[in-house]
Structure 1
């Protein structure tokens, strides 16, 4: 397993490993939220963040007019990769399934609706208790697969997401 303070950084497909202390020692100055100035081989270098996907830890950085695709993998990402599970980041849920058998009491979303993390999708009655099924990330509802009053089994698809 990689050390907890070691990062695997892929730049245009080439692998580099850096200790957290190495990264902390970089001589970088933030000019704005997307522009940075650093020193490389005793020369000033300007860098600009073109795109950032925090979910997949993927960044596009422009340095001297050339763009670089950068992927950052922390110790957990590296361990999961070694175990054959790929990266922990970037796994997006496409379906919300019933966590237990029950009865759909109320549906709070419609097809095509945009929902925010924490929004209630529906209420599922199970074992004489009402359970709110919440969304865990911002998404758009592709299809509501159940109706109010419908009995569902554990693992049955309740809602599909885009």
Structure 2
């Protein structure tokens, strides 16, 4: 069974392209991001100028004209119909206490830049130390607790800018 793709160009034009059609494209790779394409006796110089594989969005220059392209396959369509998002990432702007406990240590300050997985603070709960790490790169906007504070579940601990 041949897979098909829905291709949207410049948020205006929609095309259905089969796997067979795409494999029959007369294309020669001339560099890492450039191709020379022959189609219906016409020659085209193409270059992929920007790509986001998670969102399946590409910007392609064809003979010095820029085109923004979105590619969706059958699985992507099915996932979207079910109400899910493809390649989306949730931006976390705050850290809340996952359980009631006691703040043992705070490893960051207001205005500090942090990277994903950096230790933010240590929360003691049920005689166990829980290390809370940064879910993303960012800058600390505010810290709502101090060392030694008792916190409740879902209490705001840290906010990102």
TM-score with structure 2 setting the length: 0.71
RMSD, matched Cα: 3.2
Residue of structure 1 equivalent to 2:146: 147
Per-residue CA deviation, residues 65-96 of structure 1 (Å, 9 max, x unaligned), is: 22222334566654442223433424322222
2: CA distance, partners of 1:75 / 1:135: 35
Per-residue CA deviation, residues 30-72 of structure 1 (Å, 9 max, x unaligned), is: 613x444444435443333333445544333222222222334
1:81 partner SS: helix
Residue of structure 1 equivalent to 2:66: 67
Equivalent residue runs for 1:53-132 within 5 Å: 53=52, 56-73=55-72, 77-132=76-131
2: CA distance, partners of 1:72 / 1:107: 45
How many angstroms does 1:10 deviate by?
3.2
Structure 1 pair 77–88 and aligned structure 2 pair: CA distance change class (3 A): farther
Residue of structure 2 equivalent to 1:12: 10
Structure 1 pair 161–44 and aligned structure 2 pair: CA distance change class (3 A): farther
- Note the residue ranges of structure 2 that are not aligned, 5 or more in a row: none
1: CA distance, partners of 2:124 / 2:18: 49
Per-residue CA deviation, residues 98-147 of structure 1 (Å, 9 max, x unaligned), is: 22222222122222322222211211111111111122332232322322
Larger radius of gyration: 2
- Note the residue ranges of structure 1 that are not aligned, 5 or more in a row: none
2: CA distance, partners of 1:100 / 1:6: 47
Contact kept, 8 Å, 1:145 with 1:159, in 2: the verdict is: yes
Contact kept, 8 Å, 1:56 with 1:90, in 2: the verdict is: no
Residue of structure 2 equivalent to 1:29: 29
TM-score with structure 1 setting the length: 0.71
Structure 1 pair 86–130 and aligned structure 2 pair: CA distance change class (3 A): same
